[in-house]
Amino acid sequence: MKSRVFNWTRITLAALCLMGFSSLSADLKVGFVNFRKCIEESKMGKQQQSAFEGLQGQMEASLGEIQKNLAEITNKLSDEDYLDGLSTDAENELKHKYRTLSQELARTQGQYVQTLQDANVRVLQMLSNEVTEAAQEVAKAKGLDLVFNEEACFYYKPSMDISTDIVAALDGKFEKEQKANPAQKPPVPANNNPKK
């Protein structure tokens, strides 16, 4: 019985909030932002994506070297003729090297996955902050009362989309920062070279 009362109370409160919002909606000026478009089309977003892909490429190259060495040892260990020509100590050393490289590969892969996840979170958080600041700037310029991420709604009029304005604001800030610090590189997340 309590859960029914609780659910009806929640539904009633939600309906009252919506009624209040709809009565004000005629006076409200609202804009919507496509966050993904802002990231993919802005110079700032492209720079961050490029830096992230560069980090990912470095890690893949490093892993590729370990995988190549491991593949060579695996081929030797599966070649009966090669093993017949080795002493027992040399074979044991080769097997030990295989185990060591396998462990190094697993550890390095784990570190790289964690590093990339952390880097992705930091980049998205930074870009989210930048889009928020740009949205405030655009809202003031256009006299908007509210700006929503388009993911928060199922439909809105295309004329309410201010994503292009956000991209322009992000590009303006990016170009200003580039002129002020031409040698500045995009921030690369920490731990881009995890310890092996």
Specify the pLDDT at position 187: 53
Quick check: is 156 in a domain? yes
What distance in Å separates the CA atoms of residue 178 and residue 75, rounded to the nearest whole number?
51
Q: Residue 21: what pLDDT?
A: 53
Residue 84: predicted pLDDT: 87
pLDDT of residue 2: 44
Determine, yes or no, domain membership for 71: yes
Tell me if 108 is assigned to some domain.
yes
Q: Do the domain assignments include residue 10?
A: no
Contact present, 60 and 92 (Cβ < 8 Å): no
Q: Is residue 17 part of a domain?
A: no
Q: Residue 151 is part of a domain; what is its CATH number?
A: 3.30.910.20
The predicted-structure confidence for 115-133, as pLDDT tens digits, reads as follows: 999 999 999 999 999 999 9
Q: What is the dihedral angle through the alpha carbons of 103, 108, 113, 115, rounded to the nearest 10 degrees?
A: 150
Q: How far is residue 75 from each of residues 7, 68, 90, 173, measured CA to CA in Å? A: 65, 11, 15, 54
Report mean pLDDT in 10-residue bins for the chain, 196 residues: 46 47 68 95 94 92 91 91 89 93 93 94 94 96 94 91 96 92 60 42
Residue 196, pLDDT score? 39
- 196 within some domain: no
Name residue 80's beta-bridge partners. none
In a domain, 169, yes or no: yes
Structural domain containing residue 77:
25-180
Give the number of domains in the chain: 1
CA distance 9 to 141: 40
- Asked whether residue 188 is assigned to any structural domain, the reply reads no
pLDDT at 17: 47
